[in-house]
Homo-oligomer: A and B are copies of this chain.
Amino acid sequence: MAYQDRILACNNGSRENYLPFFGRGQQLGWIRKDRLERLSGFPDIFVVGGQQVDLHAALFDYDSATAAVDYALRVMADEGLIQGWRDERYAVAERFSDPAVFSIERAGCPFLGIRSWGFHLNGYVRKPDGLYLWIAQRAHDKPSYPGLLDNTVAGGHPEGLTLAQNLIKECAEEASIPAHLARQARAVGAISYLYESPQGLKPDQMFCYDLELDESFTPIPADGEVAGFYLMPAQEVMEIVRDTDRFKFNCAPVLIDFFIRHGLIDPDREPDYVGLCEMLHGAPPV
């Protein structure tokens, strides 16, 4: 395997089987064609056309759109079409900084192909023999990707918080990293990918953070989502990413970006170094 394959695995989505979903002039999502018939059963909410689906124009403000979409999603969840309701609200917009057109239950995002945002943080330690990374292992009873390896801290982006606030919250909850340390985390870029799961299309964007930690600090699982943390030499992490699928799929590109930014991948030796950089930051349209 190669790093390229790991990034391709995050970009397994094709827009062929989907129609774009628009609301208030923004492209907000992608609707799978086999869901059009069911959605046309909510004609006051979803206007299903031949080329696109539109949020009904009468839902012209945040509150009415939020309430209407929520109603439809709850009906379809009761019908078993949407699984894993979490009672977590995500903002729906074309760009992260745009005002939300409406908000949505997190489990509804892939059903409507809504872009979601989140952050991934790599905690690392500089030792005399090189960089080490704090790798999390996901809890074995976690519903999604149990037991797989993960970045030190990661989380989806809930409505109403800034990235910095969410990062501090998740650092405490997942890894017992105190706020004064979490505040030292450095935003270092963002990766985009277009992933297709049985639930639908995920045109996600993840903000990447680095946090240099002192050798004396050890992250400790706090909320039961993490089984344990392991301090691994970056060279070993590189091999695991490249040669195995032990990491959750979307942690691999975050790590590859880390390897590139920290000079661990040599452009004189990596056959498609520029291609890696391009793939990591590819721009899947919402």
Residues of chain A whose beta carbon lies under 8 Å from any beta carbon of chain B: 95-97, 162-164, 186-192, 205, 207, 210, 260-263, 265-268, 270-275, 277-278, 280-283
Contacts and interface: CB of A to CB of B under 8 A. Distances in A.
Nearest to A97: B271
B274 A192 contact: yes
Contacts of A96: 267, 273-274
A162 B262 CA distance: 19
A192 B278 contact: yes
A96 B266 CA distance: 13
Nearest to A209: B263
A12 B67 CA distance: 44
A272 B95 contact: yes
B164 A261 contact: no
Q: Majority SS of interface residues in chain A?
A: mixed
How many copies of this chain does one complex carry? 2
Contacts of A274: 95-96, 190, 192, 205, 207
Given A96-B274, A267-B207, A281-B278, A260 B188 contact: yes
Given A96-B267, A164-B268, A271-B95, A189 B283 contact: no
B277 A281 contact: yes
B95 A265 contact: no
15 contacts: A95-B271, A95-B272, A95-B274, A96-B267, A97-B273, A162-B268, A187-B265, A187-B266, A188-B263, A190-B277, A191-B277, A205-B274, A207-B274, A275-B283, A280-B281
Contacts of A261: 188-189, 261
A267 B187 contact: yes
A262 B188 CA distance: 6
A192 B283 CA distance: 14
Contacts of A278: 192, 281-283
